[in-house]
Structures are given as C-alpha cells and as structure tokens.
Amino acid sequence: MIELTLDMAERAAKAALAKAQALGTVMTASVVDEAGRTVLVMRGDGAGFFSTETSRAKAVAAANFRRPTKELGEMALQGSAFWAAAPAVLRGEVLPSIGGVPITKNGRCIGAIGCGGGTGEQDHECAAAGAAAVGSS
C-alpha cells in the first residue's frame, strides 16, 4: 500500500529547498515512494541540470536500502564486492552518495527524499529537513 502522498512529497521537497536557501545554496529535491517510483521532483532555480538525476538516484538508494545514503557511501568506500558490482547491475538507478534520507512512518520506510546541488553535507542536511517535514519517525 502506498502511503506517501503527493501532498507529503511536496511538503518534503519544499522544506528541503527552504533549507537549501537558508544554507545559501541551490538544490533539487526528488521524492520517491517505498518502491523507488518518482512521486515529485522540484528543481530549484539555478540548480544544475544533472541534479534531477542524481537527487532521484539518491532517493531510490535511500528507499531501497532503508537508510541514509551517507551510511551507504561509507559502506561503498569499504570496497565490498556488492558495491563494486552495483554500478554495472543497477545502471545508475541507485547512487550511494551523500544526500538521500528515508521517509518513515511508524518506524516503516514509506519512501525517501534525495537532494543534489550543494556539497554532500548540504545535500544531506536538506534531505533530512525534507524527511523531518513530513514527520519521519
């Protein structure tokens, strides 16, 4: 059952873009449901044209693995066989780079938000703000 509504996705993306503005950077926010299907993409004014793809791939990674991509990136740096093969197998659909955060409801992942356009840390802060705006718990 899909629990992540368009209204929730819009609130999350708007909160992420507001955080980006407060940080003084441009940002794109992508929100996906629990299966990684796109619900909403908001490209902030001046955000790079690749940011729509990278933010979505971060959101898909966070939704699929049910954890922030900040953690996934650290796991990928450890050099496991899985992460070595993932780019070829997943063909760019999943990006274990900082900036994706799961959206949870009652402890269950219902989707994720991915942000791109700033530094990795800025992307993560914006994604976390977006997830928090829809009551991630």
Degrees to nearest 5, angle at CA 126 with 8 and 3: 20
For the ranges 8-22, 57-71, 93-107, 123-137, the maximum mean pLDDT occurs at 8-22
- What residues does each domain of the chain span? 6-133
Pick the closest to residue 102 from 74, 53, 137, 50 (CA basis). 137
Q: What is the pLDDT of residues 59-90, one digit of tens each?
A: 999 999 999 999 888 877 887 777 777 767 77
Is 6-133 assigned to CATH 3.30.420.10?
A: no
pLDDT digits (tens, 9 = 90+) for 7-61: 999 999 999 999 999 999 999 999 999 999 999 999 999 999 899 999 999 999 9
Q: End-to-end CA distance of the chain: give it in Å, rounded.
A: 18
Residue 116 is predicted with a pLDDT of: 96
Predicted structure pTM score: 0.91
